[in-house]
Amino acid sequence: LDGLRCAACSGIIEEGLKATPGVVNARVSMSKKRAVVIWSPALTKPSSILSAVQALGYSASPATQYESDQVIIKKQRAAFWRWMVAGFCMMQVMMYASPTYFTEPGEISSDILHLLNWASWLLSLPVLLFSSSTFFSNAYRDLRMRQISMDMPVAIGIVITFVVSSAATFEPNSWWGNTVYFDSLTMFVFFLLSARLIEVKLHKQTLGSLELLISRIPESTERLNADGSYTRIVNTKLKIGDIVRVNIGEAFPADGKLIAGSTSVDESLLTGESTAIHKNLNDKVIAGSFNLRQPVNMLLEALGASTKYGQIVSLINQAAIEKPRLSELADRVARPFLIFVMSAAAIAAALLWDVDRGRALMTAAAVLIVTCPCALSLATPAAMLSSASAFVKRGILIKRLQAIENIADVDTIIFDKTGTLTEDHIEVTAIQHQSSLTEAEALGLAAAIAQHSYHPVSRAIVNAHKKTQTAAFAISLHNIQETAGAGMYAEVSSHTLINSHLKLGSAKFCDVSEQYQHVQQVHLADANGWLASFTLQEAIKPDASLTIQRLKNSGLTIELLSGDHSDAVANTATSIGITQYQAGCSPEDKLHRLQTLKQQGHKVLMVGDGLNDGPILASAHVSIAMGKGVPLSLAHADYIFLNGDISQIPDLIRHAQHTMKIIKENIGWAIFYNLISIPLAFFGILSAWLAGLGMAVSSLIVVANALRLTKFMQTKI
């Protein structure tokens, strides 16, 4: 989206989109200049949605069509020239106005004063017609659509100031008086343009890693031709199965594997892993990671949104569009606030009209210019997007910005065990099986059903089978079901080793007895009963104990709920310092415990693997997914830790609390500024140029304050 200036703008577009036939829902983010629209293909089409936005006076394009560098540079150059012209003319007008600053009335002859006023008038024309053009075009759009946004009062204030000053220049002896305000006019236009340029720069720094991550894929790549030569083509023309060459310093354009050469890659912004990772022949590489050592050839296996990079970008955009509670409140206030301001300006002018009409108009202009709903509407998203940027640097993705506020006030944390407090990698250490089966057959049958799951235990079974280097069983499975925290079920068409169906999971799920009471096991069964049991071994994460201690030192209550055997859960809990734990929990048991805590008034953070804890993660006040092997699109959590580093949980909570502190400071400043500045302007104490300066500075303070968050998470408690 292009042309948004304040929360009122986003509200106008959002309402316009929702009123478009066929549109089910729409969300607009002023900070990201993006909209997410859900529509019915049977009732409308994307071109109609874009036309609806354009009819409102804004420009829009599909989010996949990123602006080229040339277009961005052209816009920046135009904004820079408007600022330069305003600055040059302001200095000249100030020079012509300076004699009146240091002399008493009557000390300068009327002819000289009239000449200086005419010179100031001429120099104000470029500021009015060129530098202020964006204010007027946006205000005209609002008038045409019978709406109101931030540029409306600014444009009215500029026009009033210029008209009053021009009238005093052309006819100094009339009722409007002989005082000109060209210096104020040029100054506040210059200040506003300066603020917007600085705001754009600060906003880019605030988004930081978010923008860097989104823009890291190159526009073109060298594709291998049939004759062995290479042709550089745009990435949109790449297909799965193509072979491309990635040079040193370039990002991999897709997911795939190396088929020529070896290198080191930087995956820091995608996984949070700060050190370079060595890749050999046939190793997997992911889109968005950088080639560091030498040119390599890769075979493309996934493109665009199907890549891990594409999923990460999708989550980032989803989070940026989602409006936190405080942001929605500010957006609802924006337009009524602007109406109030314009009414206050009219009242101020009416009260002074019979006293001094020139002063009355300039007081109204000051009221219009000084107000700043931008500071209020920027207070929340600026800080939260800054935090989201800091999280990305640490390998943490956030799926909704409201989760920052939620995690800041948690008082209880519930941990799952497997893949959360323990290492994601689990090993099969022993296999017991029915006498009619061989060990290889038992493992092959288990792997046949386990390969359809992302659970750490399922991956352990599959990995154990891969190590045997035997082919997987050609079993026709259908109606495959996975019960979170219990196991998997699949029906089998016909097989000599299996009767009717297969079950892989806990003893209770498989309707079998535990083979050993003090070890962690997963069982395999069919309609006739027990087939095999697999003994598992998992290691506790090395930083789990310290993490739990840091969380307890922060005053948080820690609980461990696991579906595993009581001895395994007890050993894990006691070794890392958790005193409240429960074993043998079904998903329903975990959900019941969560509901009990919520009824007691607790705000609960749930930490799980992101897939098998779906119901409880969705029901918690806020949730974290630690499963490194879970596809991002399937992770049911507010936060996703790409690197599975549990030690970052205390830092995340601490950072969220600091973010809320910054947001409260921003909101407090915005309210304080408007409460002070509007009365000062209303009673004529604040001149127009000071009003412009105040409005510019107020927005900058909010964005600059939010920028502090990008450095805050670099330190630990």
Q: Which residue has the higher pLDDT, 25 or 206?
A: 25
pLDDT at 271: 64
User: What does the domain layout of the chain look like in residue ranges?
Assistant: 7-55, 69-209+317-383+665-711, 217-250+255-302, 396-422+540-644, 427-537
Q: Considering only 158-172, 390-404, 541-555, which range has the smallest mean pLDDT?
A: 390-404
| Six token digits for residue 175 | 């009722």
Domain 217-250+255-302, CATH among 3.30.565.10, 1.10.1740.10, 2.70.150.10, 3.40.50.1000: 2.70.150.10
> Dihedral of the CA atoms 685, 688, 690, 695 (nearest 10)?
110
Residue 279 phi, psi (nearest 5): -125, 130
Distance CA 291, CA 232 (A): 17
CA–chain centroid gap for 553, Å, is 30
- Which superfamily does CATH assign the domain made up of 396-422+540-644 to? HAD superfamily/HAD-like (3.40.50.1000)
Closest CA to 327 of 709, 14, 1: 14
Q: Which residue has the tokens 């400043």?
A: 669
Q: Which residue has the higher pLDDT, 292 or 704?
A: 292
- In sequence order, what are the residues at sequence separation of 6 or more whose Cβ sits closer than 8 angstroms to the Cβ of residue 389? 206, 207, 208, 209, 210, 710
Give residue 610's pLDDT band: very low, low, confident or very high (50, 70, 90).
low
Q: Considering only 44-48, 381-385, 572-576, 585-589, which range has the smallest mean pLDDT?
A: 381-385
Per residue in 323-350, pLDDT tens? 677 777 777 777 788 888 889 999 999 9
pLDDT at 627: 61
Task: Answer yes or no: are the C-beta atoms of 417 and 560 closer than 8 Å.
Answer: yes
Mean per-residue pLDDT, 430-442: 89
Per residue in 153-178, pLDDT tens? 888 889 998 998 999 898 887 776 77
Strand ranges across the sheet with 277-279:
277-279, 263-266, 290-291
| DSSP-derived secondary structure for 374-404 | HHHHHHHHHHHHHHHHHHHHTTEEES-THHH
Check whether domain 7-55 has CATH 3.40.50.300, yes or no: no
Give residue 272's pLDDT band: very low, low, confident or very high (50, 70, 90).
low
DSSP-derived 3-state class of residue 537: strand
427-537 CATH: 3.40.1110.10
Task: Answer yes or no: are the C-beta atoms of 676 and 647 closer than 8 Å.
Answer: no
Hey, do 7-55 and 217-250+255-302 end up sharing a CATH topology, with the first three levels equal?
A: no
pLDDT at 207 > cutoff 60? no
**Mean pLDDT, all residues of the chain:** 83
Distance CA 549, CA 343 (A): 57
Per residue in 638-686, pLDDT tens? 898 887 889 999 999 999 999 999 888 888 888 888 889 889 989 888 8
Q: Which residue has the higher pLDDT, 548 or 482?
A: 548
Give residue 65's pLDDT band: very low, low, confident or very high (50, 70, 90).
very low
Q: How many Cβ atoms are within 10 Å of 209's Cβ, its own excluded?
A: 18
- In sequence order, what are the residues at sequence separation of 6 or more whose Cβ sits closer than 8 angstroms to the Cβ of residue 360? 348, 349, 350, 351, 352, 353
Q: Which residue has the higher pLDDT, 256 or 688?
A: 256
pLDDT at 716 > cutoff 60? no
Mean per-residue pLDDT, 378-385: 75
Q: What percentage of the chain exceeds 70 in pLDDT? A: 87
